[in-house]
Structure 1
Amino acid sequence: MSNVGGVDRVLRFIVGVALILVPFAAPAVPALAGLGNWAWVIGAVGLVMLLTAVFRFCPAYVPFGVNTCDTK
């Protein structure tokens, strides 16, 4: 059962990849240097977003009945 549609999927993928890179870029970028261990939490959120894009299913959508997928 899919509940993540095309545009939602692409945005999740792009943002997910960007967030995964945060922990690795944080030490080199002064604006991100103060994140400390939070950078890894942000990276984990990015991993979840990437996985929901790949599997086209978001568990957080279920309780709210959200479905951005066009298929019937």
Structure 2
Amino acid sequence: MFEKNVGGVDRISRIIVGAGLIAGFYLNDSESALRYAYWLGIIPLVTGIFSTCPLYSLVGIKTCKPD
């Protein structure tokens, strides 16, 4: 479906940052609207899991090893 363009350290860091942001939602007790910004962690988490980033495709960046 999508060409893999995320690899190595980039992929691992996306997964860690995404999971951390989502965990921050559950660990934050405040009722401010900023609390829901943690759900933006879904974006790096999904792009890390599937090793593809639509923005990288548009710009032409590849951080994975060539086939």
What corresponds to 1:30 in structure 2? Answer: none
- The residue type equivalent to 1:5 in the other structure is G
For 1:47-58, list aligned pairs within 5 A.
Answer: 47-58=42-53
TM-score by length of 2: 0.84
- The residue type equivalent to 2:46 in the other structure is L
For 1:18 and 1:67, the matched residues in 2 are separated by: 24
Give 5+ residue unaligned stretches, structure 1. 28-32
TM-score by length of 1: 0.79
For 1:19 and 1:8, the matched residues in 2 are separated by: 16
After superposition, the CA RMSD in angstroms is: 1.5
